């Protein structure tokens, strides 16, 4: 430091991290002046506040989508901060409190889900933000319509008509469920029967709507064999296959069943092991707890009747009841409303 006219100055640098330091001055003196030093002077170095997160907007590629029941919906999404597209941070799609899909913001961000309703619903599109970007939300409408059943035309039927099987819908049967299947073909009569595709599937007496259409109630037991099979019909002791085999394919899938959840409470800021008791838990089963701040980190299927979920709850998770959805690898799923509750 150089002294001029009795005044000295110095520039201090690298005073990090933020803290209070003591500074004192020392004068070595010269031929005509004595040496001297000052008392320590405290200097507080403050932290530089980070800039506020940039405002964002999240938008779907289309404002509305229409899809047939049972089919996937694919929604490309973009997050912008006004200066360009944002990369990083989670984007979620919700139906009320129920999480339908989640992805990471970026040029190829896409949300894919299978609707579980018919009609039109407006879904919440939500960007959760990151260290430099604020959260934002938008909306997208999804219309789901039933798959129409079109009776095939019958051209010039023979004088003596044998029954012909053309198609059976739907193509999936779920364990422990009863459902009505629609049988399409020609030559149906009160003597025509739909045959069980696999052991454990009980087929009721058909309701013959016309010679080209039957409706049959089918009950799939918990012990029904899983996997693909094919429908056939019988009439007068003769069995008839399908004229278009793939149109009569059926897949028996398992839907998880839950009889007990322990514990029922998730604590903020805590990772909890939740034990599920029930049936038809398959290896590879996935689990999802709806709502912000709760994430299933791991699913451990111990047996077909017992599974353990490793669930992490953030310190800021909203205090509320949450739904739980379980999905086996073959597509069978179950949703449990108010399965657990987040508490302090």
pLDDT, one tens digit per residue, over 187-213 is 999 999 999 988 889 999 999 999 999
Q: What is the pLDDT of residues 58-81, one digit of tens each?
A: 999 999 999 988 889 999 999 999
Whether 123 and 95 have beta carbons less than 8 Å apart is answered as yes
124 and 200 inside one domain: no
With beta carbons less than 8 A apart as the criterion, state whether 315 and 269 touch.
yes
> Which residues, 6+ apart, have CB-to-CB distance to 11 below 8 Å?
none
Burial class (CB in 10 A: 0-12, 13-18, 19+), 149: exposed
HSE toward the beta carbon, residue 306, CA cutoff 13 A:
5
Q: Span 232-238, mean pLDDT?
A: 92
**Residue at 267 is within a domain:** yes
Is pLDDT at 32 greater than 70 in this prediction?
Answer: yes
- CATH number, position 228: 2.60.40.10
The per-residue pLDDT for 220 is 86
The CA-based dihedral angle spanning residues 48, 53, 54, 59, taken in that order and rounded to the nearest 10 degrees: 170
pLDDT tens track for 130-146: 989 999 999 999 999 98
Domain membership of residue 35 (yes or no) is no
Same-domain check for residues 141 and 177 = no
Q: Which of 145, 180, 205 is the C-terminal boundary of a domain?
A: 145
Task: Give pLDDT, residue 177.
Answer: 80
Output the CA angle 165-166-167, nearest 5 degrees.
Answer: 105
Distance CA 299, CA 176 (A): 23
The answer to whether 194 and 206 have CB atoms below 8 angstroms apart is yes
- N-terminal to C-terminal alpha carbon distance within the chain: 58
185 in any annotated domain: yes
Q: Are residues 243 and 271 in the same domain?
A: no
Residue 41 included in any domain: no
- Evaluate whether 162 touches 154 at the Cβ level (below 8 Å): no
277 & 241 share domain: no
Helix (H, G, I), strand (E, B) or coil at 219: strand
Write down the pLDDT at residue 310.
Answer: 96
Helix, strand, coil shares of the chain as percentages rounded to 5?
0, 55, 45
Q: Across the strands, what pairs with 342?
A: 266
Report, in angstroms and rounded to the nearest whole number, the Rg of the chain calculated over CA atoms: 34
Is residue 286 located within the same domain as residue 247?
no
Q: Can you give the pLDDT at residue 5?
A: 65
Q: Within a 13 Å sphere around the CA of 223, how many CA atoms are in the beta-carbon half?
A: 2
Q: Domain range for residue 321?
A: 257-343
Is the pLDDT higher at 250 or at 331? 250
Q: Name the one residue in this structure whose structure tokens are 């899909």.
A: 101
- Tell me: the pLDDT tens digits for 87-126? 999 999 999 999 999 999 999 999 999 998 889 999 999 9
Whether residue 329 sits in one domain with residue 315: yes
How far apart CA 261 and CA 343 sit, in angstroms, is: 16
Q: Are residues 273 and 331 in the same domain?
A: yes
Residue 339 backbone dihedrals phi, psi, to 5 degrees: -70, -35
In a domain, 308, yes or no: yes
* Residues 261 and 291 occupy one common structural domain: yes
Q: For residues 117 and 119, what is the distance between their CA atoms, to the nearest angstrom?
A: 7
List C-alpha distances in Å: 101 to 113, 123, 124, 127, 133.
6, 11, 11, 12, 21
Cα separation, 125 vs 148, whole angstroms: 30
Q: Say if 85 falls within a structural domain.
A: yes
Query: What pLDDT, on a 0 to 100 scale, did the predictor assign at position 265?
Result: 94
pLDDT of residue 226: 75
Q: Are residues 206 and 218 in contact, defined by beta-carbon separation less than 8 angstroms?
A: no
Strands 193-195 and 172-174: unpaired
Secondary structure element (H or E) that encloses residue 202, with its range: strand 201-203
Nearest to 162 by CA among 213, 214, 235: 235
Band of residue 222 on the pLDDT scale cut at 50, 70, 90: confident
Residue 159 has pLDDT above 60, yes or no: no
The SS3 call for residue 197 is: coil
How much is the pTM? Answer: 0.41
Do 338 and 296 share a structural domain?
A: yes
Residues 118 and 63 in one domain: yes
3-state secondary structure of 131: coil
Asked whether residue 150 is assigned to any structural domain, the reply reads no
Q: Is residue 48 part of a domain?
A: no
Residues 294 and 247 in one domain: no
Q: Is 176 or 244 the better-scoring residue by pLDDT? A: 244
Same domain assignment for residues 235 and 313: no
Instruction: Tell me what percent of the residues of the chain surpass a pLDDT of 90.
Output: 59
Q: Tell me which of 253, 274, 302 is where a domain ends.
A: 253
Looking at 253, 277, 304, which one is the last position of a domain?
253
Confidence at residue 181, expressed as pLDDT on a 0 to 100 scale: 93
79-113: buried (b, 16+ CB within 10 Å) or exposed (e) per residue?
bbbeeeebeebbbbbbbeebbbbbbebbeebebeb
pLDDT of 2 reads: 64
Average pLDDT, whole number, for the chain? 88
Residue 301 has pLDDT above 70, yes or no: yes
Total domains in the chain come to 3
Cβ proximity of 175 and 252 under 8 Å: yes
């Amino acid at each position: 430091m150089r002294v001029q006219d009795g005044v000295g100055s110095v520039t201090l640098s690298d005073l990090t991290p933020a803290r209070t330091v003591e500074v004192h001055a020392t004068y070595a003196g010269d031929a005509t002046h004595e040496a001297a030093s000052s008392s320590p002077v405290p200097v507080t170095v403050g932290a530089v506040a980070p800039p506020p997160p940039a405002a964002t907007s999240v938008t779907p590629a289309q404002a509305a989508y229409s899809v047939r029941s049972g089919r996937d919906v694919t929604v490309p999404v973009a997050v912008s901060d006004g200066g360009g597209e944002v990369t990083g941070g989670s984007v979620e799609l919700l139906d009320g409190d129920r999480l339908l899909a989640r992805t990471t913001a970026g040029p190829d961000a896409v949300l894919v889900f299978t609707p579980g309703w018919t009609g039109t619903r407006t879904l919440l599109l939500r960007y959760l933000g990151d260290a430099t970007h604020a959260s934002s939300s938008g909306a997208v409408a999804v219309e789901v319509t039933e798959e129409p059943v079109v009776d095939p035309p019958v051209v010039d039927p023979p004088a003596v008509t044998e029954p012909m099987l053309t198609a059976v819908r739907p193509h999936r049967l779920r364990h422990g469920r009863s459902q009505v299947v629609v049988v399409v073909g020609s030559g149906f009569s009160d003597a025509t029967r739909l045959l069980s595709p696999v052991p454990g599937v009980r087929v009721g007496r058909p309701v013959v709507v016309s010679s080209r259409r039957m409706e049959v109630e089918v009950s799939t037991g918990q012990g029904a064999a899983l996997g693909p099979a094919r429908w056939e019909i019988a009439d007068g002791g003769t069995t008839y296959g399908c004229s278009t085999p793939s149109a009569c394919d059926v897949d028996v899938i398992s839907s998880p069943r839950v009889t007990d959840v322990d514990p029922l409470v998730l604590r903020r800021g805590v990772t909890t092991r939740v034990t599920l008791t029930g049936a038809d838990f398959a290896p590879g089963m996935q689990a999802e707890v709806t709502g912000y701040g709760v994430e299933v980190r791991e699913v451990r299927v111990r047996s077909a009747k017992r599974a353990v979920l490793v669930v992490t709850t953030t310190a800021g998770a909203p205090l509320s009841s949450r739904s739980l959805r379980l999905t086996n690898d073959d597509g069978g799923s179950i949703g449990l409303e108010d399965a657990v509750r987040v508490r302090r």
